[in-house]
Structure 1
Amino acid sequence: MKKHGILNRHLSGALAALGHTDGVLVCDAGMPIPDGPRVVDLAFRAGVPSFAEVLEGLLGELAVEGATAAEEVRGANPAAASLLTGHFPDLAYVPHERLKQLTSGARLVVRTGEASPYANVLLRCGVFF
């Protein structure tokens, strides 16, 4: 049995299958998820687990070379915007409608229980070397 890191077997296995440039969308409970990407749904109740908790856990295990968020996060959700810019100084912004379109090309979607607006980020996997 794993004793640290991400213990959820579905999420841990999905992360192990990712490669360079694969997309991983970390999203709030309300983000529409298209058919196509593998989905690991962690949502339990509104707010549980939070976007911040899940993002922190994923960043502890993933090499990330870039990230994209909805430009609306800056005005509608300052806490999420601050979290994202703290982790990704070169964060790219697109309109929320475009972020939803980009989701169809993601390899993995990790749905959180987050119940605040625009708490979504599309990560681009990097390499650890």
Structure 2
Amino acid sequence: MKKAGILNRHLSGALAELGHGDAVLVCDAGMPIPEGPRVVDLAFRAGVPSFAEVVDGLLAELVVDSATAASEVREANPGASALLDEHFPRLELVSHERLKELSAGARLVVRTGEARPYANVLLRCGVFF
């Protein structure tokens, strides 16, 4: 049994399969999930686990080259906006509709229980060397 890091076996296994350039969508409970990508649904109750908890946990285990979020997050969800700015100084912003289109190319979708709007980010995996 693992003693640290992400303990959820489905998520841990899915992360181990990612490679350089793969995309991971971390999304709130209301984001439409596209057909195709592997989905690990962590949502338990509204707000649990939060977007922030999941992003922090993923960043402890992933190398991320870039991040894309919906521009609507700026006005609709200042908390998520601040979190994204803190973690991703070069955050790319696109329309929510464009983010949904880009999400179709994700290899993995991690659904949180977040119940605040636009708490979504598309992460592009990097390489550790």
**TM-based fold match above 0.5:** yes
Superposed displacement of residue 34, structure 1? 1.2
Identity of aligned residues (%): 80
* Residue aligning to 1:87: 87
Structure 1 stretches (4+) deviating beyond 4 angstroms?
none
What is the DSSP-based 3-state SS (H/G/I as helix, E as strand, rest coil) of the residue aligned with 1:24?
strand
1:75 counterpart residue number: 75
TM-superposed CA distance for 1:93, in Å, is 0.3
**What residue identity is the alignment partner of 1:115?**
A
C-alpha distance in 2 between matches for 1:114 and 1:52 = 9
User: Aligned-pair RMSD on alpha carbons?
Assistant: 0.3
Structure 2: give runs of 5+ residues left out of the alignment: none
Unaligned stretches of 5+ residues in structure 1: none
Work out the number of aligned pairs and report it: 129
What is the rounded CA distance, in whole Å, between the counterparts of 1:49 and 1:88 in structure 2? 21
Equivalent residue letter for 2:58: L
Q: TM-score, normalised by structure 2?
A: 0.99
How far 1:36 moved relative to its partner? 0.3
Deviation sequence 1:34-54 (CA, Å, 0-9, x none) = 110000000000000000000
